[in-house]
Structure 1
Amino acid sequence: MSDGMERVSSKHSPRVDDNMAQDVSGLVQGPGAGGSRVEESRQPEPAGEDQPEPKTMTAGASRGGNPQGMSMDDVEGRSRLGRFITMSALPGDRDTLVANARENQAPADIVAALEGLPEGTRYQTVSEVWAALGHKNETTRW
């Protein structure tokens, strides 16, 4: 008998062949065909928890303009506030919101504004917090 090298008909060891087959099957099947964890991590991330999905936009929002009843400053200010208050803090009271804003490295003006909220009130949404800070939200027509 020979040294055993002739029995291997492939250019690669069987383990390398198996790995190559798995790599190819992932490419052939695509991400929707019962993909693995690795493929899942390559999926685009969903909108951040504190960012509204497009379908949750209010009826007052108009294309290319401001929501009805809100100035551009209101829109930008509320959006900025929403970056520092995440869904994990809502519903929450003043102390929860202040702690959450600090965890998210909110600037001093936002922390100070949140510290000025009345104690004991629970807020369900960033819009409620924004209104409690004395700002306008969109007006909705029914």
Structure 2
Amino acid sequence: MSEGMERASSKHSPRVDEQMSQEVSGLVQGPGTGGSRVEEHRVPEPAGEDQPETTTAPAGELRTGAPKGMSSQDVERRSRLGRFITMSALPGDREALIANARDNEAPDDIVAQLQGLPEGIRYQTVSEVWAALGNKNETTRW
């Protein structure tokens, strides 16, 4: 969903919002005829291509590009880094991250990157580690 769509309701008067809300609820609830239409809505649908399912993106799965400020290669490399740093290591400093990556059988290049982190800093997220390694995160987070 684009940013414009998320904020659309703030651009209408309360009366138009109410009217739109009724139109949407009619669409969501269906015509009320019962039968199979109601059951349809109870079946969970898989996430669409534009909806995130997991934090890691397997190679070749990035169909719609990357978040603003990152290339698809950046996304894949950060995702790969995140596979070797588990939540149990965060927040953590350089030594904790290196130990965790080794526990997760990280390849030498990942361990070497982590060894280049400055000492004495505790990182809260993989994105913070990624940025500390000199890489860019999404610009929309700021």
**TM-score if structure 1 supplies the norm length?**
0.55
Letter in 2 for 1:85: I
**Aligned residue-pair number:** 85
Cα-to-partner distance string for 1:77-136 (whole Å, 9 max, x where unaligned) = 000000000000000000000000000000000000101100000000000000000001
Find the counterpart in structure 1 of residue 109 from structure 2.
109
Cα-to-partner distance string for 1:22-61 (whole Å, 9 max, x where unaligned) = xxxxxxxxxxxxxxxxxxxxxxxxxxxxxxx7498xxxxx
Does the aligned pair in 1 maintain the 2:93–2:119 contact within 8 Å? Answer: yes
Counterparts of 1:1-142 in structure 2, within 5 Å, are 54=53, 64-140=64-140
Change in Cα spacing, 1:63 to 1:99, as seen in structure 2 (3 Å) is same
Find the counterpart in structure 2 of residue 22 from structure 1.
none
Higher normalized contact order (CA 8 Å, seq sep 6+, divided by chain length)? 1
Task: Give distance in 2, aligned partners of 1:90 and 1:54.
Answer: 22
Task: Give distance in 2, aligned partners of 1:104 and 1:135.
Answer: 22
Task: Give distance in 1, aligned partners of 2:63 and 2:105.
Answer: 32
Structure 1 stretches of 4+ moved >6 Å: none
Deviation (angstroms), 1:63: 7.3
Greater Rg over alpha carbons, structure: 1
Does the aligned pair in 1 maintain the 2:93–2:123 contact within 8 Å? Answer: yes
Task: Give distance in 2, aligned partners of 1:98 and 1:141.
Answer: 26
Gaps of 5+ in 2: 1-51, 56-61
Task: Give distance in 1, aligned partners of 2:111 and 2:124.
Answer: 18
Does the aligned pair in 1 maintain the 2:127–2:137 contact within 8 Å? Answer: yes
**TM-score if structure 2 supplies the norm length?**
0.55
